[in-house]
Structure 1
Amino acid sequence: MTHASQPNCAPIGRILADRVLPGFQRTQKLPLRISCLGTVSYAGATDADYRDRSVSLGEAASPEAAIALAALRVSRGNLGPGEDTALRFEPRLIVIQDSALGLVLAGEIRAGIILWQQPVANDSEARRIVIEASRKRGMAFAASGRGDHAAARVLRFGAALLEARLIDPLWRETAAELLRLPQAA
């Protein structure tokens, strides 16, 4: 007697490797950390006085909870680095990382909302982004050396925005699913 395999049945090893283990690995990297990247300066500061700063916004137990917390903090404008009222903070990016500092999701802050960046589709796209971001960082370094601090800051932010797509491979599928638009009713 010959056993015919079902074409739509996957072997148990493949199911474990493709579905169960990645989910288990993701739970091992919780909680997720949410932070805001931006620039700080004091009133009356010159372009040379602006500094890049990362501000911790909290932790979450899931990507969905992290997105909700980030959206709440951005909508309320609750992103500042502290109680110093003379210190100005210009928020630029929201970053969600796992406990091993793997990038889960990142997005640009514009007009009180977060424009989440689509994760790279594959490793070759990731390599292209790394090359372009490195080029921009080199240009920023050169601009800073010339004393053009405003241009350097713009170039550094452009590089960071590109790098926001460099989602850790473990989280790429999850991030892509979270960013899919709901189907129209």
Structure 2
Amino acid sequence: MTFARSESFRSIGQILAADVLPALYRMQRLPLRISCLGTISYDGATETDCVDRSIPIGEAASPEDAVALAATRIARGDIRAAPEDTLRFRPRMIVIQDSASGLVLAGEVCAGIILWQQPVNNKTEATRIVVETSRLRGKAFAATGRGDHTAARDLRFQASRLEARLVDPAWREIASELLRLPQAA
């Protein structure tokens, strides 16, 4: 008598390798840090007077909590470069990283909401993004050399928007699942 294996049966080794160990690895990389990339300037300053800046927003115990915290802070518009109101901060990107600086999720800030970027699916796609961002950063460097700081900032932002898809492999599946949830849209 022979027994047919069920398609849903997995050995304990498969469960450990596919589910338990990756979850433990991710837990070692907590808490998650949320920051906002943007530009700061003084009241009445021109576009050339703006400076790129990263502002820490906070920490979270899970990707879901990090997304919620970022969305709340952006919706309220309460991300500031300094306590006084003389500096203006214009948020452009939200970045969520783990304690090892691995990218968990990132998105562009647009009209008071965050447009989260879908993580890359494979190494080939990641390689294409790295090549394209290198090209954009080279063009930004050349624009800075010409004194065209506005074009350089825009090119750097385009590169950052592409790099937002380069989610750390340990977080890709979780980030993809999180973006499928209705409240993340």
The residue aligned with 1:107 is 107
The residue aligned with 2:5 is 5
The residue aligned with 2:166 is 166
SS in 2 for 1:108: strand
Kindly provide the CA deviation profile for residues 51-98 of structure 1, in whole angstroms up to 9, marking residues without a partner as x. Answer: 110000000011100011001100100111111322111100000000
Q: Structure 1: how far apart are the matches of 2:44 and 2:143?
A: 22
The residue aligned with 2:146 is 146
Q: CA deviation at 1:47?
A: 3.9
Q: Structure 2: how far apart are the matches of 1:162 and 1:178?
A: 19
Q: Structure 2: how far apart are the matches of 1:8 and 1:83?
A: 56
Structure 2 unaligned regions, length at least 5: none
CA RMSD of aligned residues (A): 1.3
TM-score (normalised: structure 1) = 0.93
The residue aligned with 2:31 is 31
Superposed, which structure 2 residues align to 1:74-85 within 5 Å? 74-85=74-85
Structure 1 unaligned regions, length at least 5: none
- Opposite residue 131 of structure 1, the aligned amino acid is V
Kindly provide the CA deviation profile for residues 31-68 of structure 1, in whole angstroms up to 9, marking residues without a partner as x. Answer: 10010000111234344432110000000011100011
Identity of matched residues, %: 66
Q: CA deviation at 1:2?
A: 4.7
Q: Structure 1: how far apart are the matches of 2:168 and 2:67?
A: 17
- Opposite residue 157 of structure 1, the aligned amino acid is F
- Opposite residue 104 of structure 2, the aligned amino acid is V
Q: How many pairs are equivalent?
A: 182
- Opposite residue 145 of structure 2, the aligned amino acid is G
Q: Structure 2: how far apart are the matches of 1:88 and 1:7?
A: 58
Higher deviation after alignment, 81-90 or 156-165? 81-90
